[in-house]
Structure 1
Amino acid sequence: MVSDERRASPNTSSERATYGFVLYLGSYLLLGVFLLWAFLPNDWLTFIGFSYYPQKYWAVAVPVFGCVCFTMIFFLYIGANLLMVPAPDDLRNITDSYSLPPQPASIGTSVPPLYDIPITEVNKLMFAKKH
């Protein structure tokens, strides 16, 4: 037996499946019309009954423009991220407004309070010369 939550879910509705199938068929129909328009000579299109249609130039220009825009999104996304990131030697890469300074432990507690280790302490421990 199916629960009420599953029955009410939009993922299992028959209307949604019908719309999806119609969109699937419609996209293949539009692809077929586009390919016919792009590859058939103008005389054949006129014979079939199509007298008003865009120039064949747009059959190449629109897909190329779409591919270039899709590719440029990656470069723009990377560039925007690089503009927002601080420089490698910026102190904001190490600490922020939520950093907690070391606090003295209160007597009687078994676990010390949580804090961020200062970068100077980390450098002393990692890069100090050991004799």
Structure 2
Amino acid sequence: MSPLQTLYQSTTAEPTSPGSKSVEVYGFVSWVACLVAGVIYLAWAFIPDKCLREMGITYYPSKWWAVVIPTIFLLIIFWTAGVVLPSLSWALAPPLTDKRLIEDPSRGDNQFVSSDTESSKFDIPTAVDIKLSEVNAWKFREFRRKRHHNHHNNEAHPLPE
């Protein structure tokens, strides 16, 4: 069983008994409470003080807080997204000289799947991690060939050693 299947089975609830579960009730009550609090907040923010006093509502915070509270929430969101999360990312990232940035330590000895098997010529090849030494050997083969040729002809090397 894959880890995703295990995670899916552990997070999906199987109905064991008829009726509502306490989690569902708490979720609905929380949703209603947030809706009521939002309506009260918007009413307090937009209804003029004179109308509130005429309705008998005299004890409420200053309207200044109607602007400050959303501003504080936005600042917290921007601070978290712009400073805290990038800082954590930089702190947890391995150094640039770490070999894990180039090679996958869990790759094992993966080989390319040959096209002679069940796959057709139109199939996308399986993704595998190629060793860095193999990449360098392929990428710099022309340079090595020229260097080897020049070395045997007693010519200067293309690049100093």
How far apart are 1:78 and its partner, in Å?
2.0
Change (3 A) 1:41 1:90: same
Residue 42 of structure 1 corresponds to 49
Residue 6 of structure 1 corresponds to 15
Q: Is 1:86 equivalent to 2:133 in the alignment?
A: no
Partner of residue 57 from structure 1, selected from 53, 59, 64: 64
Q: Secondary structure at the match of 1:6?
A: coil
Partner amino acid for 1:126?
A: K
Q: Distance in 2 between matches of 1:53 and 1:60?
A: 15
Aligned residues: 111
How far apart are 1:69 and its partner, in Å?
1.0
Q: CA offsets, 1:6-64, max 9 Å, x none? A: 2159xx73444333333222222111111111111222222222222111111111111
Identity across aligned pairs (percent)? 29
Change (3 A) 1:7 1:45: same
Listed as ranges, the gaps of 5+ residues in structure 2 are 1-13, 109-128, 147-161
Q: Is 1:126 equivalent to 2:139 in the alignment?
A: yes
Q: TM-score, normalised to structure 2's length?
A: 0.52
Q: Distance in 2 between matches of 1:20 and 1:118?
A: 51
Match runs of 1:63-82 below 5 Å: 63-75=70-82, 76-82=84-90
Q: TM-score, normalised to structure 1's length?
A: 0.61
Q: Distance in 2 between matches of 1:126 and 1:64?
A: 54
RMSD: 3.3
Decide which structure has greater helix share. Answer: 1
Partner amino acid for 1:119?
A: L
Change (3 A) 1:15 1:118: closer
Listed as ranges, the gaps of 5+ residues in structure 1 are 101-115
Q: Distance in 2 between matches of 1:88 and 1:95?
A: 13
Q: Distance in 2 between matches of 1:21 and 1:67?
A: 26
Residue 33 of structure 1 corresponds to 40
Q: Distance in 1 between matches of 2:22 and 2:105?
A: 50
